[in-house]
Homo-oligomer: A and B are copies of this chain.
Amino acid sequence: MLTNAKLVFNKNINQKHTEAAIKHAEYLCLQKQQKFTSLRRTVFEILWEDYQPLGAYEIKQRLSMRLGKKIDPPTVYRAIEFFVDLGLANKIESLNAYIGCPFPSSQRSYIFLICENCKNVAEVSTGSVDNSLALIMEKLKFKLRKQHIEVKGICSKCSP
């Protein structure tokens, strides 16, 4: 029953979650003395608006729409980097895409489940894989700073 894991599907993300994410971002920025500027807020909202991985240029386009002016790549990449550095967003490497992090305060790491059929991405936070990994890293005397797990296959909704 996944008692030791948390799963986040995009369909389950709603206005409430988004608002909570924004609140959390505001709080974290305050705590870390970082500025949650208007531009950054807008990018953050975009990252959450349908909770799907977005490419930088897709974000750029949406940002441009919202602000009613042309936006250049560095503007977007800077905002993305800001949130990734704070752990409030993640890059999905195999998609070159970015997504808000639903477990920003978790000490655990995440697994991204990428459905090759519907293209939806879910994110699961779990301790068991973390533990297995940590054990191996310890044996290898590898000081783990960051782990990144992406899984591709077919999600439950897409399989018969």
Contacts and interface: CB of A to CB of B under 8 A. Distances in A.
B153 A137 contact: yes
A140 B154 contact: no
Identical chains bound together, number? 2
Given A133-B151, A150-B148, A151-B147, A140 B156 contact: yes
Contacts of A49: none
Interface residues of A, number: 40
A107 to B, nearest CB: 16
Interface in A1-15: 1-2, 5, 7
Nearest to A9: B140
A81 B155 CA distance: 25
A150 B110 CA distance: 12
